[in-house]
Structure 1
């Protein structure tokens, strides 16, 4: 299907991930370079050439693996969300479900780290999602997967309305992380550890209250 035939909600086909180890290393280097460029240069100043220069490859090599910088940004967004989802799964397998506060603290810390390890990149993604319907779809799909993971967790307990409880837990966690991120960007953020600890205790209190109903 050519690009002109794509509807607004259809993602353009990505170039296939190479199977050869050397080619995969080049692709990974380009993704790492693009992440740094988007963080430090912003969207407008990042180009295929600047990414290739940072990765120390020819600009033509960039186009072997990606259509353009928007394609690259979508790949970065997808990989970041997949990594966060995998971290949630690994975290829940390591911690007992009986220690709700500890589990919520660890997961809340993952959300904070996800937002704060690259605040400039997060800003670029949030800005571009309103301009690029394909990026918006990727981010929405990622959020749906994360929300489903929260719902699956809540459903393991005796909760009267698991959908509402899961929605509230997810929204409150995102709200805390986004508010702290905005302060990080402004350079006025307090240390995150006390906020994560207190936030987890508040979320756990809310969750335990729902299980008693």
Structure 2
């Protein structure tokens, strides 16, 4: 855990070691996740989280200082699943690969649903907002590194500003569901989104060559 994570989460009142105590703590985490999603973060109290988990309010405070610490624990555990995937450009048929990455990412988001809580919390929690900005910057840097590898192999458009393209890709990936909703579709066509992204990166003839290599 980084110093930044320590600052966000703080020191826990108690770290359980016995299985029964760990089960209670996990029940509180799942209870908090469910209530934050259904009621909203501000409308959820520690007492309600404890009651939903079937334990006393005092048990909540045995494991967590407050509901923010519980939410930060959830986010720490699931952060990798909340952040958008990093495309792999130096591969055969990057369009199909990217589509599968996007589909898996949004399936995880829909299972966790924690991303629904973040906009509400980020407005009131500058530390969390900064932490997520830093995490986003790291994803951007890895996308940029992958694009540079592809450009070094002469796979991309020659005149691309890779830094700008990397941010554009990140924005499209993060807003894919919203984009699809604006198109009036009830389901997300990940192949169409992957196609748009890959057209930003690769000339059509390069994509076709990569697809042919994948078929061989």
Please give the range of the TM-score, normalised by the shorter of the 2 chains. 0.7 to 0.9
CA drift of 1:210 comes to 10
Judge conservation of contact 2:85–2:105 (CA < 8 Å) in 1.
no
Task: Tell me the TM-score normalised to structure 2 length.
Answer: 0.72
Q: Which has the higher helix share?
A: 1
2:15 pairs with 18, 22, 43, which one?
A: 18
RMSD between superposed Cα atoms in Å? 3.3
Gaps of 5+ in 1: 1-9
Judge conservation of contact 1:111–1:177 (CA < 8 Å) in 2.
no
2:145 pairs with 129, 148, 152, which one?
A: 152
Gaps of 5+ in 2: 1-6, 207-216
Is residue 126 from structure 1 mapped to residue 123 from structure 2 by the alignment?
Answer: no
CA drift of 1:198 comes to 0.8
Q: Specify the alignment match of 2:201 in structure 1.
A: 207
CA drift of 1:44 comes to 2.9
CA drift of 1:172 comes to 1.4
Q: Specify the alignment match of 2:94 in structure 1.
A: 100
Looking at structure 1, the residues matched to 43 and 104 of structure 2 have their Cα atoms a distance apart, in angstroms, of 30
Task: Tell me the TM-score normalised to structure 1 length.
Answer: 0.73
Looking at structure 2, the residues matched to 33 and 127 of structure 1 have their Cα atoms a distance apart, in angstroms, of 19
Looking at structure 2, the residues matched to 189 and 17 of structure 1 have their Cα atoms a distance apart, in angstroms, of 49
Judge conservation of contact 2:122–2:128 (CA < 8 Å) in 1.
yes
Count, aligned residues: 192
Looking at structure 2, the residues matched to 203 and 46 of structure 1 have their Cα atoms a distance apart, in angstroms, of 39
Judge conservation of contact 2:140–2:166 (CA < 8 Å) in 1.
yes
CA drift of 1:129 comes to 0.4
Note the alpha carbon deviations across 1:64-122, whole angstroms, 9 max, x for none: 2221112222222333222346x947x96xx9822210121122224433544455x43
Of residues 155-164 and 47-56 in structure 1, the stretch that sits farther from structure 2 once superposed is 155-164
